[in-house]
Structure 1
Amino acid sequence: MIRERRFINGDWKFDFGEHPEAELEASDPQWYDVGLPHSFELPDFREHKIYVGHGCYRRTIEVDETWLGKWIALEFLGVFQVAEVFVNGRFAGRHEGGYTPFTVDISDAVTAGANDVFVRVNNLWNARLAPRAGDYSFGGGINRDVSLIVADRVRIDWYGIGVTTPEVSRERATVAASVEVVNDEPWPVQVSVAAVVSDPERSVASLPTMHRRIPARSRAVVELEGVVANPILWHPDHPHRYKLTASVSVDGIARDSQTTHFGFRWFEFTADRGFFLNGEHLYLHGANVHQNRGGWGDAGTRASIRRDIAMVKELGMNIIRGSHYPHHPYFAEECDRQGILFWSELHFWGMGGPSDDGYWFASAYPVNEADEAEFEESLRLALREMIRTHRNHPSIITWSIGNEAFFSDDAVIGKAKALTVELVALAKELDPTRPAAVGGAQRKGFDVLGDIAGYNGDGAELFMDPGFPSVVSEHHGVIGPGPGKYEVRWEHGVEVDYPWRSGKIFWCAFHYKTIAPGAGLQGLADYFRRPKRAYYWYREQLRGIAPPVFPEPGTAAALRLRTDTETIPTDGTGDARIEVELVDERGVRVADDRPIRLTVVEGEALFPSGQSITLSPETSSVWDGAGAIEVRSYAPGSQRIRATADGMAPAEIVLTATGRGRPLGSARRLPPRAPYLTEPPPGGGYISLAAYRPVKTSSAAPGHHGGNATESGGSCWRAMRREPGEWIAASLEFPYLISRVEIDFAEAPSSPWLVESAEDGHEFTTLHRGEPGSVRSVKVEFELRTATAVRVYFPEQPIDIEEIRVH
């Protein structure tokens, strides 16, 4: 055996709570049975509340006697957000940060036979750990795969192969491989390191073998180089990948071997001509993607990742922005395979609105000096981990430092910008082959801090031809549950593809769960990955494919089940997506939205709620006469699933789970819903809900854009025209309960003005009519109401506005 790697996603025990010293005790039979990936939030129907606290996991792993003396490690691809790992009661390792992989060396803690692994996880908000804020759900759990790795004491380090392609043309390409070799032996060794490059058909190059003496208990990086003639270039239209296999031997005996995939391509972001791939102009058109999903929350499988990327690709898009944190390493691998570019992002993340410490509405950068050093180090570490584990993927064309970090307290904005500059430099030091971007850089001068500026929302119209490479990293146009309309509302002029702009990325591909009530409904597809009408509209714009016939209202007579696969692996990497439809007597789907119950009647298949789940209009999991959910199994065998709904006969489908697994049958104990849910803590630290958020206007004079009116201390908004009907609308981005609007006019109003609000951001109703007067600053108070935007409208003549504040 040179190296062994196996998933250990099945057969875990779990319970909520911290369970002090439980790592020293025998397994508690009252704990619940779960499989990984797992989230504290199961089942997840987009409730904006989340469980914040601890959860503990336990599993037995079998260690072969022949493994003793080798390097044995547990690999975690993601745990949100602090993990403490114990083996046989001994502390083995700790990791802070919820989005990047890590390993825990357990070589000296295990014995031959059964060994107890105990993992204590918490998702407590931490002032010193990124992210401090974000429009997302921060549910805890071991929400990505876990593997057991066994390798030699002399080996290639974990993710220890870095591949670059310094010179690429259609006739010739060079390959440079950096192989990090570890010597854990108590004596020096002379290693020989070799590598072979191959494509799916054959070997195409052998890199000359290098020899290196490595001292005892140390490591060395061995550089290898080679040439490939007539390379097949990687491109979204033909995503050809190559494989590099590196090996390490001592005295002619192989000690380790690892393989990584890469691709040959070259690219350039330009300030005046846009983006180029392999020497040809390519306009970037894509979508933002969050990892959480209907039912399973953040605990998606590799199969679910595969489907997500396929849906974006099917639209005709060519790039995904990984909003707003490092994604599962398999995400980038699948982008490579399917042919879609990837903007990989760090979680230096701001949100705006409430600003108190204690929850994920806080200042993106710490407001207390004592928290700064650890917070900054958490981002440095995460950036290093993201780049190390993602660096070989040809789909990745930039490392982004974060999103809207300008939502930091004004007192520390200088420090937030300084950290951004430092992280940009670190990204380029770790990987000189890619530029560093700053996402959501439309306020407070963040756009000049990286190689590429990503402008969100009104940044698309505020920064026209900025003089350096830029992308619209978020543009909106859809909101709301259910099927929606067959349209996307272009905002801020993004319908124009300017030659100097590299591209535009829609917000967002899928609905997502968030701590902000009412937000997260901007997807082209819903939380359960069912395409909305707008999905097909976008596909028609990009690919010219006419939409399907949409269901009409009617009375259903039967149920119909569909699945994307009939086979499920039992190792936790796969699942089956089941769609259930309500059809009439002709077999045509009708918009008859009634609850549908899915039940496993044979086998050990699991929905996020256990062996049954109800999809319904109340949870937005049934609309247009259909619902969908993913099902997985950790035990092999036939899995028969039945769908039932009032007034019609059941329907069934049979899947097959393949692989290893331990059937539990009636002994299975599934966890209940989280024992408590938390609301954001009350606090008085609210800044204006409109501060630094996107602004729309009927017109704006040069130098007097709408954004001036939501930035304290800035210039003012001034309409281009002095005519009736001018207006300025401040977006809150999320539905908030508001009761007060404050306006600072540049001069006392000499004509009437109206304050209006819109719950959906589009349809406005009047809250207050203001008359001419002698007071320049006004405060309008009203009964509490939900609003996503606030507008000041001028029925006769516009008045310059210095600031609008919404509370």
Structure 2
Amino acid sequence: MISERHFINGDWTFAYGEHPGAEAAPPASDWFDIGLPHSFELPDYRDYRIYVGHGCYRRTLDVDEAWLGQWIALEFLGVFQTCEVFVNGRSVGRHEGGYTPFTVDVSDAVRAGANDVFVRVDNHWNARLAPRAGDYSFGGGIYRDVSLLVADRVRVDWYGLGVTTPVIEPDAATVNVSVEVVNDEPHPVEAVVSAVIADDGPVAELEPVKHVIPARSTAVVELEGTLADPRLWHPDHPHLYELTAAVEVDGRVRSAQSTAFGVRWFEFTADRGFFLNGEHYDLHGANVHQNRGGWADAGTRASIRRDIAMIKDLGMNIIRGSHYPHHPYFAAECDRQGVLFWSELHFWGMGGEDIEGFWFASAYPIHEEDEAEFEESLRRALRTMIRVHRNHASIITWSIGNEAFFTDDAVVDKAKALTVELVAMSKALDPTRPAAVGGAQRKGFDVLGDIAGYNGDGAELFHDPGFPSVVSEYHGTSGNGPGEYEVQWEHGVEVDYPWRSGKIFWCGFHYKTVAPGAGLQGLADYFRRPKRAYHWYREQLLGIAPPEFPQPGTAAALQMRSDVDTIPTDGTGDARIEVEMVDEHGVRVADDKPILLTVLEGDGLFPSGRSFTLSPETGSVWDGAGAIEMRSYTPGPLRIRATADGVAPAELVLTATGPAKPAGSGERRLQTPAPYLTEPPLGGGYISLAEYRPVKTSSAAPGHHGGNATQPGEATWRAAGDEPGEWIAPSLEFPYKIRLIEVTFAEPPSSPWLVESAEDGRSFEPVHEGGPGEDRSVKVQFEARTALAVRVSFPERPLEIREIRVH
């Protein structure tokens, strides 16, 4: 036997809570019947409150007697964020870290036949575990695939196959292969390691290498060969080869492992931008979070495939995996579809209130006793991210994190030192790719890596920095519903400077976050419905005219469709169901009624069970339509009905395909919402909500940019001129309830000035009128109001400002 992989996503049970001792107790009869991928947050409608606590999973695992004596492991591709694994009541493994895959060796814990697998998960904030902060939602669960792995005691290690192409010429490419071979036998073995490259059949063989591997050890075997007339990987023609490495002992193949790889080379330059395969190539893309309407973080491989296709179909060519290692399938699908990928580590900071105990904390620990474990959690994650993703042609950088400068000033030097260490570690683990520092627009983080990623106003603050750079985030749309057609670019990103490698939009899709009111900056909504800005972008990049947008009208009927006719039952696939309101002529109309979807036949599942309501209240219906993904873990026909008040219903028939299952023991016990939701501890922080946030200005004198006014220190903002109407507007990035604004001028005010706030970040309303005679530092207190941005403007002549603070 060479190796086997079996998805075990179906037939789990789940219960909220810690359940002490349940790992050794008989299965409970009142747990929910669920499938993986799974989240504590089901169903998820973007509520900023999340369940923080424990959840327990259980499943029966059938083990073939022929597997005994082999290496048997459980592979988890993502569990947020700490888990303990038990087999037959015995502890077999523990993992910390919410975004990286891992395996648990169960070889000595399983027996032939039925085995009990129990997993206890918790998503508590942990001062010693990255991330400590982030504009995201940190719901718990086994939210990616789980597989059973079976392999020989002499085998290629898990993700133990690395491929590089260090020399690429028009007629040949050098292929170097690193093969990690594990020998679990109690005696040495002489292994012959070989590899074959295929492209619709074998095209090259690498010279075999003999290697003696000591007992109970791992050896790295290096192979080298040549690929003639290589076909280059490029987003316009994403050609992939397959390399298979085999380990032979005494004339018998004991193990084999395959990987896809592409032949390409690239370069980030300081003065000429980005080059791919020797040609200049402008990077233009979007940030993508993994969570999604209804299902939270627990997306299927099919949903990943659709997400990447939506970015590709937009005319973009790069995705930034914000801001954590994504599912291994994500990078593989970028390879196949032809989208470059910025793979990022979760050294993550978040502006605003600095509150220890929740994901609003300092990016780097503020207590010395937390530092060592926190740093090691990032080293461990970086090693795994690179090991798992290293062969993907689409990946052009390993990014160390995002906005880690949102660290308490007392420990910011330690955060920078850790960044430098992780950059060096990245390059040691993979010399073929540069290391980036994402969101590096404050506190000198931009000089710490090979590539600087500037977010927000970093696009205008760092003109021609003298080293490779990209705009790693820029904004242009906000809000639920269809939104405006034209994207409103900020901070001069519409100018393509020759030295800048590219720009990456924030963001591809709406996302759920613990920051109230945030997460609505997507070109498509949380349910992956394209907003009007999506179509504007597609017209700009591909010249495709927008569709005719629906007009208000009265619906007479529903129309329903699915992107697929069949759904695999192994948890890797789903069907995306769309429902539209149409009038008596069959024309789509913007009639926003709630729509109830119900599974009438078969074992189809929505995030809320056998039914799901699309509604304007949850942001899942607008412009007379809604969409949601449906799964099934049981083969057979599926019949789904859509109904809404006063309109004719619609039905859809799909098929779930997979191995037949034994007769069930009763109705599926459907999951109910989490028993409690944790409120973020807002209002307890002491830091200004505007500190180090992006700043817009009417103008700025050299050396006196707007960012000076949102960071402590002596530097100031000064307008470029002395004419009426100048202004400075710090963004809070998220809508907050504010009640105090402090403005500190360089000198006591000598002319009128006005403080304003904007709930939407654009439409400003007056808060306070000031003028001569006031102190150099003025505190403006007022009734609490919601604001996304504040502005200080000057109706006569501008004044120089040292700092603006918002609370």
Question: Shorter-chain TM-score: what band?
Answer: over 0.9
CA deviation profile, 1:401-428 (whole Å, cap 9, x unmatched): 0000000000000000000000000000
For the residue of structure 2 that corresponds to 1:13, the secondary structure is: strand
Cα distance between partner residues in 2 of 1:61 and 1:252: 33
Please name the residue that 2:76 is paired with: 76
Superposed, 1:276-315 pairs within 5 Å as: 276-315=275-314
For the residue of structure 2 that corresponds to 1:296, the secondary structure is: coil
Cα distance between partner residues in 2 of 1:665 and 1:684: 51
Is 1:108 matched up with 2:108?
yes
Please name the residue that 1:404 is paired with: 403
Please name the residue that 1:357 is paired with: 356
Pair 665,739 (structure 1): closer, same or farther in 2 beyond 3 Å: farther
* Cα displacement (A) at 1:325: 0.2
**Contact 2:82–2:97, Cα closer than 8 Å, also in 1:** yes
Please name the residue that 1:668 is paired with: 668
* Cα displacement (A) at 1:686: 2.7
Cα distance between partner residues in 2 of 1:684 and 1:61: 47
Which letter maps to 1:215? P
Which letter maps to 1:766? P
Cα distance between partner residues in 2 of 1:683 and 1:89: 44
Which letter maps to 1:161? L
Which letter maps to 2:652? I
For the residue of structure 1 that corresponds to 2:496, the secondary structure is: coil
For the residue of structure 2 that corresponds to 1:781, the secondary structure is: strand
Which letter maps to 1:294? G
* Cα displacement (A) at 1:160: 0.4
Cα distance between partner residues in 1 of 2:351 and 2:646: 48
Pair 378,714 (structure 1): closer, same or farther in 2 beyond 3 Å: farther
Please name the residue that 2:530 is paired with: 531
* Cα displacement (A) at 1:771: 1.7
Cα distance between partner residues in 1 of 2:378 and 2:195: 33
**Contact 1:72–1:149, Cα closer than 8 Å, also in 2:** yes
Please name the residue that 1:172 is paired with: 172
Q: If the length of structure 2 is used for normalisation, what is the TM-score?
A: 0.99
Please name the residue that 1:701 is paired with: 701
Cα distance between partner residues in 2 of 1:65 and 1:774: 85
Please name the residue that 1:187 is paired with: 187
Please name the residue that 1:451 is paired with: 450
**Contact 2:36–2:144, Cα closer than 8 Å, also in 1:** yes
* Cα displacement (A) at 1:353: 1.1
Moved over 2 A (4+): 660-666, 681-686
For the residue of structure 2 that corresponds to 1:680, the secondary structure is: coil
CA deviation profile, 1:569-608 (whole Å, cap 9, x unmatched): 0000000000000001111100000000000000000000
* Cα displacement (A) at 1:649: 2.0
Please name the residue that 1:501 is paired with: 500
Cα distance between partner residues in 2 of 1:166 and 1:58: 46
Cα distance between partner residues in 2 of 1:362 and 1:515: 12
**Contact 1:170–1:233, Cα closer than 8 Å, also in 2:** no
Which letter maps to 1:542? L
Superposed, 1:195-344 pairs within 5 Å as: 195-199=195-199, 201-344=200-343
CA deviation profile, 1:141-162 (whole Å, cap 9, x unmatched): 0000000000000000000000
* Cα displacement (A) at 1:356: 1.7
For the residue of structure 1 that corresponds to 2:791, the secondary structure is: strand
Cα distance between partner residues in 2 of 1:414 and 1:661: 59
Q: If the length of structure 1 is used for normalisation, what is the TM-score?
A: 0.99
Cα distance between partner residues in 1 of 2:171 and 2:120: 53
Please name the residue that 1:5 is paired with: 5
* Cα displacement (A) at 1:170: 2.3
Cα distance between partner residues in 1 of 2:296 and 2:362: 25
Cα distance between partner residues in 2 of 1:79 and 1:404: 24
**Contact 1:571–1:660, Cα closer than 8 Å, also in 2:** no
Pair 275,383 (structure 1): closer, same or farther in 2 beyond 3 Å: same
For the residue of structure 2 that corresponds to 1:529, the secondary structure is: coil
**Contact 1:365–1:412, Cα closer than 8 Å, also in 2:** yes
In the alignment, structure 1 segments of 5+ residues that lack a partner are none
* Cα displacement (A) at 1:169: 2.3
**Contact 1:604–1:665, Cα closer than 8 Å, also in 2:** no
Which letter maps to 1:673? P
**Contact 1:634–1:661, Cα closer than 8 Å, also in 2:** no
Please name the residue that 2:756 is paired with: 756
Which letter maps to 2:478? I
Cα distance between partner residues in 1 of 2:714 and 2:392: 43
Please name the residue that 2:391 is paired with: 392
Cα distance between partner residues in 2 of 1:685 and 1:730: 19
* Cα displacement (A) at 1:21: 1.1
**Contact 2:75–2:104, Cα closer than 8 Å, also in 1:** yes
- The percentage of counterpart residues that share the same residue type is 78
Superposed, 1:427-442 pairs within 5 Å as: 427-442=426-441
Cα distance between partner residues in 2 of 1:649 and 1:594: 13
Question: RMSD across aligned C-alpha pairs, in angstroms?
Answer: 0.8
CA deviation profile, 1:529-554 (whole Å, cap 9, x unmatched): 00000000000010011000000000
**Contact 2:173–2:228, Cα closer than 8 Å, also in 1:** yes
* Cα displacement (A) at 1:714: 4.1
**Contact 2:460–2:491, Cα closer than 8 Å, also in 1:** yes
* Cα displacement (A) at 1:189: 0.5
Cα distance between partner residues in 2 of 1:686 and 1:622: 39
For the residue of structure 1 that corresponds to 2:231, the secondary structure is: coil
* Cα displacement (A) at 1:684: 2.9
* Cα displacement (A) at 1:661: 5.5
Count the aligned residue pairs. Answer: 806
Cα distance between partner residues in 1 of 2:803 and 2:461: 17
For the residue of structure 2 that corresponds to 1:29, the secondary structure is: coil
Please name the residue that 1:144 is paired with: 144
* Cα displacement (A) at 1:670: 1.0
Cα distance between partner residues in 2 of 1:722 and 1:757: 23
Please name the residue that 2:786 is paired with: 786
CA deviation profile, 1:698-754 (whole Å, cap 9, x unmatched): 000000000000010141000001011000000000000000000110000000100
**Contact 1:594–1:645, Cα closer than 8 Å, also in 2:** yes
For the residue of structure 2 that corresponds to 1:162, the secondary structure is: strand
**Contact 1:510–1:524, Cα closer than 8 Å, also in 2:** yes
Pair 307,714 (structure 1): closer, same or farther in 2 beyond 3 Å: farther
Superposed, 1:313-712 pairs within 5 Å as: 313-660=312-659, 662=661, 664=664, 666-681=666-681, 684-712=684-712
**Contact 1:320–1:341, Cα closer than 8 Å, also in 2:** yes
Which letter maps to 1:421? V
Which letter maps to 1:221? V
Cα distance between partner residues in 2 of 1:237 and 1:122: 43
Which letter maps to 2:332? E
**Contact 2:353–2:682, Cα closer than 8 Å, also in 1:** no
* Cα displacement (A) at 1:664: 4.2
Cα distance between partner residues in 1 of 2:57 and 2:562: 31
Which letter maps to 1:121? V
**Contact 2:176–2:225, Cα closer than 8 Å, also in 1:** yes
Cα distance between partner residues in 2 of 1:70 and 1:446: 48
Is 1:135 matched up with 2:135?
yes
Cα distance between partner residues in 1 of 2:686 and 2:269: 40
Which letter maps to 1:458? D
Please name the residue that 1:155 is paired with: 155
For the residue of structure 2 that corresponds to 1:585, the secondary structure is: coil
* Cα displacement (A) at 1:682: 5.3
**Contact 1:353–1:686, Cα closer than 8 Å, also in 2:** no
Please name the residue that 1:46 is paired with: 46
